[in-house]
Amino acid sequence: MRNITYVEAIREAMSQEMRANQDVFILGEDIGIYGGAFGVTNGMIEEFGPERVRNTPISEAAISGCAVGAAMTGMRPILELQFSDFITIAMDNIVNQAAKMRYMFGGKANVPVVIRTPGGSGAGFAAQHSQSLEAWMAHIPGLKVVQPSTPYDAKGLLKAAINDDNPVMFYEHKMLYGVRGDVPEETYEIPLGKADIKKEGTDVTIVATSMMVHKSLEAAKLLEEEGISVEVIDPRTLVPLDKETILHSVRKTGRVIVVYEAVKRGGYGAEIASMIGESDVFDYLDAPIMRLGGRAVPMPYNAFLEQKAVPQVEDIVQACKTIMNK
Amino acid sequence: MSKLGENSLFSQEQLRKMLYDMLLIRRFEEKVEQLFQQGKIHGTMHLCIGQEATAVGACAVLTNEDKIISTHRGHGHCIAKGTEVDRMMAELLGKVTGYCKGKGGSMHIADLDKGNLGANGIVAGGLPLATGAALTSKMKELGYVVVCFFGDGSTNEGAFHESLNLASVWNLPVIFFCENNQYGMSGSIKEMTNIQHIAERAASYGIPGEIVDGNDLLEVTEVTKKAVERARNGKGPTLIEAKTYRWRGHSRSDARKYRTRDEEKEWKTKDPIELFKNKLIEENILTEAAFLEIEEQVKKEIEAAVEFAENSPIPGEETLETDIFA
């Protein structure tokens, strides 16, 4: 199978869907000849033209609302929001319009819009370009929230998101764009709401999202050498959440750590931990559920501090050792 | 008021229908006020009494395929675009037979089949959505135009400026229709902007800005028709500013301390319904007897709407969590 990058996988998903369906188009800042801030739409304007790879003014309020208005009238827009931090400027259209429209109108409106946006730290972009705000969106009824961690998942999930009749927040991670993986050339979808077991194990379950999947897998390798067997589950979609796959793993291992990059306080890890605590697998737990998340600080610029602000491989290793001794 | 006569855009029957619709809006609003005082409608309400000519005048030149997007003060727009008053009334009473199954209420009535893309509770919330609906028309070559209603208060929101700019650079078939009723809640337009006419702002976006007497139905139709033709012929958006007045307060709790009773009296001498009725009588298009008949029909339609709404069931709990996702 071909080995391609996360960026290429996302581009391929969009291109295939645009070839298959004239209603699909992309809009966003600098996505034309420039190819987008991270090069995701490189070359797409050449194939699809400026009508369907639509460069917008820097106007997040207008372009997000425009995407919603186009979606509710029969198009399937993909909005590239240049950095996930800029969601604050697009918030009204996502939270007050897209998410609620179907419900407010008594089930009449379909809003098939995908908002793709890079989040996460690690690039030295400091506090206004490095946040992980997916928990905000997961809190809003009416939005689906996706966080692919691999090129394979990115392609399959994005295709499912484009073909979904609901608004979908599609969180990419800017440090994953260059990551390579096996991706079939043919079209395929990964259903929203289906987790993936990235590695099987028997002693500890790690539920990790986005970049933290990779760090957890690295940690698992190191722990294996010390005789600790780690199972890594990637929910892939926060909404809908595949509870069963997580609970099944917890039944098997009896120990669970939730690892996520977003600020730990009020983050989605609390949701996963509570979901486990409230379920009937509580009795299988051999230790209290642990959460590893980002520190409650605006993302610092300094590379050392930036690293310290979010969980690293050694933190995950340490957490696993701690939970094994409980 | 401009002259009727041979050059009129409308047949005599259409002219009488416009009078009927304005009166239907007036009586609907008065009935809503009454039901509210009786405790039969909960929440709040934003009445458009005094603004009937903008709604009916603008919608009179639209086809069934053309779209509107409305505001929190949207009952008039709904009625003018052909929405049935019985299901509107049912919605206000929170009944399952309402346009939104009782889930949307006054501020969220939509009737997509008739091109009513919905009222909006967010000030300036509709403007970017309207650009998106217009983009669909353009990309799919559907030929419809979108009339986006908003109040003077919206014009100091970022979404107003971003949307006008976007619609202008993309040359979209949208008419930005500002009902300048002089107040954004308690903030008078004189206090809140430093320009005389909102229409002047069109110059910043390279589009025409038209000022119209919003209490003169025929003037509204003429100006809107011109804008609709421009939009339909691919000449892009127009900003229309219709000067009008809301007779009631912003909402139920408004004691109108921010304006004088003399000012209100002055505007009431320019009652759009009276002006139009007198015009039709002067030009022998309507007799007093025929007007009484219209009044009687309107009364019956409102009574039937209230009866329908009151006799409709409330939604069951099983509907609470439906209509969130498609």
For the domain made up of A2-183, the CATH class stated in words is: alpha beta
Residue of chain B nearest A112, judged by CA positions:
B326
Are residues B133 and A109, on separate chains, in Cβ contact within 8 Å?
A: no
* Structure confidence at residue A155 (pLDDT): 98
Give the whole-angstrom CA distance, residue B123 versus residue A11.
36
Interface test with A, best of B95, B122, B325 (most A CBs within 10 A): B325
- The whole-number average pLDDT for the span A239-251 is 98
- The full DSSP string for A250-284 is HHHHS-EEEEEEEESTTSHHHHHHHHHHHSTTGGG
Tell whether A59 lies on the interface with B, counting CB pairs under 8 A.
Answer: yes
- The whole-number average pLDDT for the span A13-20 is 98
Closest of A142, A122, A141 to residue A132, by C-alpha: A122
Residue A326: pLDDT band by 50, 70, 90 thresholds? confident
Tell me: pLDDT of A216 over 80. Answer: yes
- The whole-number average pLDDT for the span A87-116 is 97
B146 DSSP β-pair partners: B67, B174
Domains A2-183 and A196-324 fall in the same CATH topology: yes
| Mean model confidence pLDDT for chain B | 96
Residue A159: pLDDT band by 50, 70, 90 thresholds? very high
* Structure confidence at residue B160 (pLDDT): 98
Tell me: pLDDT of B1 over 60. Answer: no
Smallest CA–CA separation between A59 and chain B, in Å? 6
* % of chain A residues with pLDDT over 70: 100
**A129 has catalytic annotation:** yes
Residue ranges covered by each domain of chain A: 2-183, 196-324
| More confident site: B148 or B6 | B148
Which residues from chain A sit within 8 angstroms of residue B112, using beta carbons? 105, 108-109
Tell me: pLDDT of A110 over 60. Answer: yes
- The whole-number average pLDDT for the span B19-35 is 98
* Structure confidence at residue B253 (pLDDT): 84
For the domain made up of B12-306, the CATH class stated in words is: alpha beta
- The full DSSP string for A15-48 is HHHHHH-TTEEEEETT-STT--TTSTTTTHHHHH
Phi-psi region of A254 (alpha: psi -120 to 50; beta: other; left: phi over 0): left
- The full DSSP string for B239-279 is EEEEE---SS-SSTT---TTS-HHHHHHHHTT-HHHHHHHH
* Structure confidence at residue A305 (pLDDT): 97
Tell whether B123 lies on the interface with A, counting CB pairs under 8 A.
Answer: no
CB contact residues (below 8 A), chain B span 131-170, against chain A: 131-137, 139-140, 158-159, 162-163, 165-166, 169
Smallest CA–CA separation between B168 and chain A, in Å? 11
* Structure confidence at residue B9 (pLDDT): 84
Tell me: pLDDT of B3 over 90. Answer: no
* Structure confidence at residue A207 (pLDDT): 98
pTM over 0.90: yes
- The whole-number average pLDDT for the span A156-181 is 98
* Structure confidence at residue B5 (pLDDT): 59
Tell me: pLDDT of A196 over 60. Answer: yes
| Mean model confidence pLDDT for chain A | 97
* Structure confidence at residue A1 (pLDDT): 84
Residue ranges covered by each domain of chain B: 12-306
Question: CATH assignment of A196-324, given 3.30.70.360, 3.50.50.60, 3.40.50.720, 3.40.50.920?
Answer: 3.40.50.920
* % of chain B residues with pLDDT over 70: 98
**A139 has catalytic annotation:** no
Tell me: pLDDT of B38 over 60. Answer: yes
Catalytic hit among A8, A17, A60, A261: A60
The secondary element (H helix, E strand) that includes residue B210 is strand B209-213
